[in-house]
Structure 1
Amino acid sequence: MRVVFMGTPDFAAGTLVKIVESGHEVVGVFTQPDKPKGRGKEMSMSPVKQKALELNLSVFQPEKIRKPEVIEDIRQLKPEVIVVVAFGQILTKELLEIPKFGSINVHASLLPAYRGAAPIQWAVIDGLKKTGVTTMAMDAGIDTGDILMQRELTLHKKETGGSLFDRLSVIGAELLVETLTALENGTAIRTKQEDELSNYAKRLDKALGEIDFNNSAENIERLIRGLNPWPSAFTHIDGKTLKIWDADIVDEEYAGLAGTIVDINKQNFIVKCGERALQINEVQLEGKKRMTTDAFLRGNELGNGTILG
């Protein structure tokens, strides 16, 4: 099939590769404009653009996909299907209906659960046992179109937002190719979403990562994993930001205020939470590299009774 592909991050780049490898003709790749990045503010290409250039595909980077001239460019490409994977812009009804097979989205949840911008991270933060990927026939709503195919995945005990991202991106790419085959063969089955079962996975921001030790150790440990690698969970010590990258739940109750360091040994330290406590295994002090807690303790003096936050 003639495919117009729309996507931006790493999660989408793998799907683009799979489409090309499966023999479909990608007639155009649409991705977000280059953006300044880092201290030097050098212009940076999206992962999808980088991959598209490696594959010698035509790349388009409109500021707004809904502009009439952009829609006309897409029409001229004569796509049979538009594939959208974490593109970052909302498509109009006019645009969605250009291809004869419609527009297909790859979404990293088992819809109707976790519609929205950050389904992967919220699956970890909320403590889901299972999640998955959905291919969906897009409509004008946000992740509300008919379900085409789904594939389920069980989360690991120490699953992070990053590890789940990687696993779902592989599954999503495979599922999308299966979906294209079903559309082409006329065997695709559309299932309407049950809107009453939906919830919303809101966009992440850095403020979400600030740890409130009044919460339970279980909730905080999931937050740490869900926000790894971005935007990361953090607290403060001696006026500096301390990112926490890995922790284990300690099934014990301690006296004192939540956020208090209640035990220190050569390998790690333990922080009291609203319920139970956390053993801190990996940290990153402001201005320093990420390191195991034993390395951190060799260079920083901590005392029992120190309060984080």
Structure 2
Amino acid sequence: MASLRIVFMGTPDFSVPSLQTLYDQGFDIAAVYSQPDKQRGRGKKVSFSPVKEKALELGIPVLQPDTLRDEQVVAELAAFQPDVIIVIAYGKILPKAVLDIPKYGCLNVHGSLLPKYRGAAPIQYAVKDGEAVSGVTIMLLDEGMDTGAILKKAEIKLDPKETTGSLFDKLSVLGAQTLTDVLAHIEEYERNACPQDESQATYTAKIDKETAQIDWTQDAIVIERLIRTLDPHPGAYTWLDGKRLKVWSADVVDGAGAEPGTIIAVTKKNFTVQTGSGALCVREVQPESRKRMQTAQFLQGISLQPGDVLTRE
């Protein structure tokens, strides 16, 4: 069904592999919608979204309305006469007036196995909760938050040291592959669309800065998952001698019965911190105002001793 006329809506890196794959497979992409440009940094330099950058590279028209609830914006979208609208991490809720435009509706690529992990941070929560399997869901959008009928799911096993960043990359590629499978047989998939089981639904909220601060009274396994959840952004952190210290990699090991947050061992390559249950051997850190580094490098410039304590602010 490469003759399908598509309007593509997306903003972050997660959406880019799907846009590239649709283009490579010869789909008729009439336009790309992305969030308005943002000003970043002290110089307030305008930066484009990853999807806008890719669309411009591919020569596809880009539109960036502030809202999709304006009648003129809806009319402009309808004028493209899309057979289907593809929505991947666009960042705006689509009103009914937009949902009703395309013949085959609006398809969404969601980074979890719905109905589990609806909402803003499905990939992060799969890592945070220690899931053995995650995946993507292609669904028909309705007016709810990730509540539409399911067309297809695709699963992937998580690596024991999976981070949000690594899973994000894997699912973005899997999403592109699964989306094109659905589009190739869209009428069949939509005939067999499966409503979601609301009793199994869970929601994910955005990870905030407070969540990123390590609570050493928690179990080592919980903290280790949090560290991987917050990689690459914003990074789990603690405090050492009044300065912020991000922890990027650690292994769960046996504890020594000390107070949580106490450093119980130091070698040339790493140091070990007592938690509420068990301990964490810290492999990679980032001192305040410096780059990520192996713990061995960090220890060369600091005198860290067993008995020193990592704290909360």
Relative to the length of structure 1, the TM-score reads 0.97
Residue type of the alignment partner of 1:159: E
What percent of counterpart residues are identical? Answer: 48
Unpaired runs of 5+ residues, structure 2, are none
Which residue pairs with 2:71 in the alignment?
68
Residue type of the alignment partner of 1:179: V
Q: CA deviation at 1:186?
A: 6.8
Hey, what's the Cα distance between the residues in 2 that align with 1:246 and 1:98? 47
Structure 1 pair 242–188 and aligned structure 2 pair: CA distance change class (3 A): farther
Query: Which shifted more, 18-27 or 52-61?
Result: 18-27
Q: Where do residues 152-191 of structure 1 align in structure 2 (5 Å cutoff)?
A: 152-183=155-186, 189-191=192-194
Which residue pairs with 2:89 in the alignment?
86
Hey, what's the Cα distance between the residues in 1 that align with 2:288 and 2:215? 19
Which residue pairs with 1:268 in the alignment?
270
Which residue pairs with 1:49 in the alignment?
52
Which string of whole-angstrom CA distances, capped at 9 and with x for unpartnered residues, describes residues 12-32 of structure 1? 011111111121111010000
Residue type of the alignment partner of 1:269: F
Q: CA deviation at 1:184?
A: 5.0
**CA contact under 8 A between 1:206 and 1:232: conserved in structure 2?**
no
Hey, what's the Cα distance between the residues in 1 that align with 2:35 and 2:211? 25
Partner SS state of residue 185, structure 2 = helix
Q: Where do residues 1-309 of structure 1 align in structure 2 (5 Å cutoff)?
A: 1-183=4-186, 189-250=192-253, 252-309=254-311
Query: Which shifted more, 9-18 or 186-195?
Result: 186-195
Residues paired across the two proteins, number: 308
Hey, what's the Cα distance between the residues in 2 that align with 1:91 and 1:294? 50
Hey, what's the Cα distance between the residues in 2 that align with 1:186 and 1:246? 42
Hey, what's the Cα distance between the residues in 2 that align with 1:20 and 1:98? 22
Which string of whole-angstrom CA distances, capped at 9 and with x for unpartnered residues, describes residues 66-120 of structure 1? 2211111101111110000000011111111100100000000000000001100
Relative to the length of structure 2, the TM-score reads 0.96
Residue type of the alignment partner of 1:259: G
Hey, what's the Cα distance between the residues in 2 that align with 1:128 and 1:141? 25
Residue type of the alignment partner of 1:291: M
Hey, what's the Cα distance between the residues in 2 that align with 1:158 and 1:19? 31
**CA contact under 8 A between 1:284 and 1:291: conserved in structure 2?**
yes
